[in-house]
Structure 1
């Protein structure tokens, strides 16, 4: 019989490796967009579909992932998700057109969408609430270091090999995860999972799909175009009706009643808007540095990499910071600092690269504290039986935040872009990322420490 400590180490290793490739693939492609656009002869604004398609496909699969994991087993679904992701990565590397790459990225996102809640619920089931603050050194790797490391690795591969190696990199990591999972992870099924919420799922598909379409087309056509705002409004209508359905369903796909937990509600919203700011900034900045300032992909990656160093420092400081400052004070200080630094990056984008690198390091310090603390705090009163539902709902919001951030900031660039390429549209877009972090700060003001309210969900909804 394996020791518990060994089993926990395996869970950590599987979680970190699988979530690392998922998170890194959301940003590693950014420094390759210019090269891909040139190879496939498409405009820069059109390449945002590669990023948005991945993030949105991921978000579409999130609602069903929790139920599938509980019904068929978390181990089985994790291995299926990693297999899909790895095969899709190979297909992305073989893509011969922009359309083919977009399709393969959607498949890759589907695997990531299945993987994210299953992996997170597996981790939080294994570790108690008292142990979770010490997981900050683990959680910061896929949450924040992977997105920051993506541009560096991507830049090196684009300059030295080919953009296709960005996707080939996932194959050996996926293989290792499959071996570890198959040999050591124990299966877990939730007996009270109930029947699949088919009605909720059927209404989620057009809702999510129409919003996805609008977000992809908005940077190209503009938000005022009928082909954008009509699908967006229709999709929003489906989503609002979905919320009504889920509140009335005994065993819902998305347990809306989990938002009765103040910690879960506030921290999930912070996760949504911080993802919009972070992923939006990491999409815009490489385009600015390459298209406007003329730096190479690798140089661009090196300029954003200090954020990862700051995140590593933040992960070491977080247990101490949470103990000394408390969750609320820590969140407000770190979010306010992040907002100021994002604004400075927008204002000083043409400054000496070392100034930008110092600011990126500051982003890592401040945002690393807030993002990781938010994820830990969100689940502090969630039971094991509700963990899959909670991680699903949390990740749906967070992933849509990333999609929304990229789409909005890409739209700002497109609407401000003149015949001659200038830095101003990119600066406005970067300022938009600071606004997203500012929204997080104001949401954080509503959180009250020591409110240990439980989720008042009826037994049949648990």
Structure 2
């Protein structure tokens, strides 16, 4: 039975509120914990190299359960799946704060990863089913909040909590957000049942979860352990083989866990090619810039986080601008402009490594966030306009799989390049230029996106809405 106050909560508001809160916690958790690792190591008597399991356990669990999210949403309904994942993530956060050993903390982080792996795809599925095509760009003004703010806020908030309180608070900070989101969701979160999931695809689960987990583990650990070590080569190659074998299996089986045929939609496929290089470049910059500021300019963790934070404001600005420009300019031009702008700003950051100046750094990060936000908001909206509601779970699962791999690849690429070059200044410049080239690749790929298909989808949705209004009135 739902609480009485739930009748006053709009279903669309409930979906937005739960999705934003849940996604914010899941994304921020990937960055906020890094700041606390030295303090955790001191408490448990473990050096920094021995703390990798804290993050790797979370990422591997995240990778295993992202592919399952679509099946669970279709089988049990999005409301039940989302609230269960939110509860699991919140409880696991509290348990992490009480951990008395590294082994216990790693186990609780795995539980967090299970919840986090379900939250983003199921939340995005609810958003797509709650909002018709014509309203999704407006909804993205709120949906972009966790993507924009969480990665940049994590280091700032984490550094402040560790310095003023203790490392336990980087996990406790999730509790009020999680509890409020749960109460809000119980009050008004609607259910969006899918087409059903008659049978669990065990081979698909093993191939998708195992392959994604192995690849993400290798990409995360490679910069520290070396790409040539057997502990990296074996999971990287094995994971790639699993993911390659997943494609023919999922296309052949009657009840696939992830229906890869959704990628036959031309607009979805072309936009999915644009997002990975941009995501890799963006996460690479967010990793690289604090390393430069702390290693070469002697910034502390808090001030390097503050120097990075303007990118979040830039992304939020872009989320407000895109709905106003979308119809007049078209998503293709917005994506090309965003990718080109991001490449240009990253080149500026490469120049600033030789002559760094705070007055140039802060506006550069703001413009980088605005450029990336322009591309992200346009591409994510265009990706789903021709996807029917019954297939949104498969589409959002694929989107989140590529997002995780792209982010891990971007960080691994940045860390590897900076470690492989002899001089620090040259290493940062070469790495920034490489990341800028990824953004230019996204520009070229964005030229294939069809504005005509987007307009036709909007027109079809508008005609369907008018027909529904006529039916109701008659």
* TM-score normalized by the length of structure 1: 0.89
Question: Does 2:357 correspond to 1:352?
Answer: yes
Partner of 1:226: 230
Q: For each residue in 1:104-127, what CA deviation from the matched residue of structure 2 results, as whole angstroms up to 9, or x when unmatched? A: 333322211111111111111010
Partner of 1:64: 68
Per the alignment, do residues 409 and 92 of structure 1 end up closer, same or farther by CA in structure 2, a change over 3 Å counting? Answer: farther
Q: For each residue in 1:151-187, what CA deviation from the matched residue of structure 2 results, as whole angstroms up to 9, or x when unmatched? A: 3322322332233322211111111111111222233
Report which stretch shifted further, 269-278 or 46-55.
46-55
CA distance in 1, matches of 2:222, 2:376: 28
5+ long unaligned stretches in structure 1: 455-462
CA distance in 2, matches of 1:105, 1:411: 26
Q: For each residue in 1:41-90, what CA deviation from the matched residue of structure 2 results, as whole angstroms up to 9, or x when unmatched? A: 76767766655543443232111101101101211111111122112222
Partner of 1:316: 320
Per the alignment, do residues 47 and 374 of structure 1 end up closer, same or farther by CA in structure 2, a change over 3 Å counting? Answer: farther
Per the alignment, do residues 432 and 42 of structure 1 end up closer, same or farther by CA in structure 2, a change over 3 Å counting? Answer: farther
Partner of 2:412: 407
Residue pair 1:31, 1:297 contacting (<8 A) in 2 also: yes
Q: For each residue in 1:18-56, what CA deviation from the matched residue of structure 2 results, as whole angstroms up to 9, or x when unmatched? A: 111112222333444555566667676776665554344
Per the alignment, do residues 205 and 367 of structure 1 end up closer, same or farther by CA in structure 2, a change over 3 Å counting? Answer: closer
Per the alignment, do residues 100 and 409 of structure 1 end up closer, same or farther by CA in structure 2, a change over 3 Å counting? Answer: farther
The structure 1 residue matched to 2:451, chosen from 416, 432, 449, is 449
DSSP 3-state at the match of 1:451: helix
Partner of 1:111: 115
Per the alignment, do residues 99 and 344 of structure 1 end up closer, same or farther by CA in structure 2, a change over 3 Å counting? Answer: farther
Larger radius of gyration: 2
Note the C-alpha offset of 1:128. Answer: 0.1
Note the C-alpha offset of 1:301. Answer: 1.5
Per the alignment, do residues 122 and 377 of structure 1 end up closer, same or farther by CA in structure 2, a change over 3 Å counting? Answer: same
Residue pair 2:59, 2:217 contacting (<8 A) in 1 also: no
5+ long unaligned stretches in structure 2: 458-474
The Cα RMSD (Å) is 2.6
CA distance in 2, matches of 1:36, 1:437: 36
Residue pair 1:219, 1:411 contacting (<8 A) in 2 also: yes
CA distance in 2, matches of 1:83, 1:175: 8
CA distance in 1, matches of 2:234, 2:397: 28
Per the alignment, do residues 209 and 17 of structure 1 end up closer, same or farther by CA in structure 2, a change over 3 Å counting? Answer: closer
Residue pair 2:148, 2:316 contacting (<8 A) in 1 also: no
- Aligned ranges 1:48-447 → 2 under 5 Å: 50-51=54-55, 53-96=57-100, 100-349=104-353, 351-416=356-421, 422-447=424-449
Per the alignment, do residues 315 and 206 of structure 1 end up closer, same or farther by CA in structure 2, a change over 3 Å counting? Answer: closer
Residue pair 1:30, 1:286 contacting (<8 A) in 2 also: no
* Structure with greater helix percent: 2
CA distance in 2, matches of 1:429, 1:43: 28
* TM-score normalized by the length of structure 2: 0.87
Paired positions, count: 451
Per the alignment, do residues 255 and 191 of structure 1 end up closer, same or farther by CA in structure 2, a change over 3 Å counting? Answer: closer
Note the C-alpha offset of 1:189. Answer: 2.3
Per the alignment, do residues 52 and 361 of structure 1 end up closer, same or farther by CA in structure 2, a change over 3 Å counting? Answer: farther
DSSP 3-state at the match of 2:23: helix
CA distance in 2, matches of 1:35, 1:340: 37
Partner of 1:458: none
CA distance in 2, matches of 1:374, 1:214: 28
Note the C-alpha offset of 1:369. Answer: 0.9
